[in-house]
Every structure is written in structure tokens, then in C-alpha cells.
Amino acid sequence: MSRPVPKPGVLDIAPYTPGKSGAGVSGRVFKLSANETPLGPSPKAIAAYKAAADALEDYPEGTSRVLREAIGRTFGLDPDRIICGAGSDEILNFLAHTYLGAGDEAIHTTHGFLVYPIATMANGAINVIAPEKNFTADVDAILKAVTPRTKLVWLANPNNPTGTYIPFDEVKRLRADLPPHVLLVLDAAYSEYVSRNDYESGIEMVATTDNTVMTRTFSKIHGLASLRVGWMYGPENIIDAVNRIRGPFNVSTPAMLAAVAALEDTAHQDMSRTHTEKWRAWLTEEVSKLGLTVTPSAANFILIHFPLDKGKTADDADAFLTKRGLILRALKNYKLPHALRMTIGTEEANKLVVAALAEFMGRK
């Protein structure tokens, strides 16, 4: 039987598998599997979204101008060097479509975001994995993986799902030692949660090079995950190239207006950041007391490692927590079969997880 056949390589791609959202149990469920903010979006963003309902028959402004200008005001950037998308995922795919072709290579680290290999392989390029050191990107390993066919390097900083980051000096060293034709993509989806003095999201590097871009999202600290809004800051030459393949009206008007309102509500962002810092430290300490290893995180989640002992594995813990309505993220598809990722939740959710883990580990 004759039927359409996907182009070579497509069926070799492992589909993106999101974290489970339901427990299949009665009672309350705490979804801590998707790095969603427990505080929700700014009330001002909700109001802006609802107000947009009066003109749903109209197409959005095709360049996301109002949002690009708001981002420019917030960060002191030229709006003409900003592009917006349906989540930063869409922009990552734009970059792959623009700069990768058959036989090219793109590098990401061992536990890098799953969209990177999907975007790479969908364009016929070869996915190259650079080893990490202590669940953290290793600049020397990335540089060692570079070949004459390398066209792009994906770097999530902080990284999902490990929560680790590399200092800005290391990012600068990476850029300086990469060939100038290689595009460095700095994925800063979790940058708003980082409070370390040696961190920089990438704005400075993009402003001073013509071969680096930075992507950001409104899905995390701004709480607009369901609206799918992201953005990229880049050199004029890259923005021009990507805009040539970007479809018109790719960001809806309600999403744009909600994102603008979210940017302007700095008090809500500060509240989310304070909540995350407090409970990230508390969870790291309390879970560690149970005899479990927690990878130090700079994001809004923690990575919990479990032993290999029968009855105490990550799979066992996942099943135990799920029965109690506590949904964490299993990470087999991230090559972390012995770990679970926990989004920092409400005070109640955080304390329930620690209590359940104490019971699971026989500490209660």
C-alpha cells in the first residue's frame, strides 16, 4: 500500500514526552511535574487577557510590536532585535530551521532540554551530545565536540531538568573559543530565578557579538504557560533571517497583552522569586536530611536522586508519591532514570512531599 513517507530522520526522533498531569487517584492532586509557578500569573495579566476578548475577530499585529516594545523598555533593548514566538520552543525550532540542514551538527549537553534534539533532527542535522560534569554543562567538553560540521550549540542556563548553571565567565569562554560561524543559543528560560552574582542571562553577550542569541519565556515566573509566549534577543542579521521563516500572527493578541501586563507587574515577579528562593532552600535541606541527594538548583525546581536499592528507587518513589496525589517528573527520557524532578510548589505541597518522602524512606 502506498502512503506518504516522512523525510529521512523524522521517525528516528523520540517524541517529546511531558510530565504526567494526573494521579489517577481520588482527592487533591498537586502537580509538581511541569515547573509551573504555584502563584499563578499576575492579576493584571489575567485582566489584560480577559479584556482582549472583545476583539477576537481581529488578527494580531503581525510582528508582536506591542510586546517587543514592552520587552525593550523592561530590559533596555532595541525592539527591532527582538522576535516573539508561541513559547520559546517555537523560536528554538525557528533557529534550527534557519541554520541547520542535512549533515550539519548541533551540540547540546547530556541532560539538555528535549526540544534541542527534536529541532536538530527534524532538519536533517546530527545531534551531538557533550558530556556534563556533576550534572552541569562542561565548556571544555562542548568545545571538544566541535567539528567542521558544527553549526549550532544549544546551552540551557540554568539547565532543565538539572537546575544547574555555569557562570558568565564560562559562557564567555565558550563563545570566544567557538568558531565564529557557530551560532550559540543561550536558553535562559529560568533566568529570573537565578540570584547568583556570577550569572548573566546572555543580554550582554548578544549585544556585543553577531553570532549569539538568547531566548526567554513567559511560561515560568510570569505564569503564562497556557498562552505560549516566548521571545528572543539577537543580532540584526539573525533576527532578519529568522523573521523570513516566521509565520505571520504567530502570537495571539490576548497572549501579547497578558505578557505586557505581566512584565509590568514587577511586584508579582518579586513575590514569585522570593517564594522560590525560600522554598528551594528549604526543600533542598529537608530532602537531604532524608538521606537523598539533591543537585544544587538555581531554578524553580530541584533534582532528587534515589538509591538503586529495591523498594527505594526513583520508580518506587514515583509510584508512592503518585498514590498520594503528589506528581513529580520521572526523567528516563532525560537519561536520569534514578532521579525525579520536583517543581517548587505551595507551602502545603512542599511540606506534603517532604512528609511523604520521609515515610517512603522509613524516616517517619
**What's the domain range around 321?**
18-40+267-360
221 and 127 in one domain?
yes
Domain annotation covers residue 344: yes
Domain annotation covers residue 215: yes
Q: How far is CA 20 from CA 24, 119, 319, in A?
A: 10, 23, 12
Structure confidence at residue 79 as a pLDDT band (50, 70, 90): very high
51 and 25 in one domain?
no
Average pLDDT over residues 125-136: 97
Out of 231, 264, 297, a domain closes at 264
Q: Name the nearest CA neighbour of 131 among 101, 158, 108.
A: 108
292 close to 357: Cβ distance less than 8 angstroms: yes
Domain annotation covers residue 6: no
13 close to 121: Cβ distance less than 8 angstroms: yes
Distance CA 317, CA 306 (A): 8
- Considering the entire predicted model, what is its pTM? 0.94
pLDDT (tens digit, 9 = 90+) per residue, 82-118? Answer: 999 999 999 999 999 999 999 999 999 999 999 999 9
pLDDT (tens digit, 9 = 90+) per residue, 204-260? Answer: 999 999 999 999 999 999 999 999 999 999 999 999 999 999 999 999 999 999 999
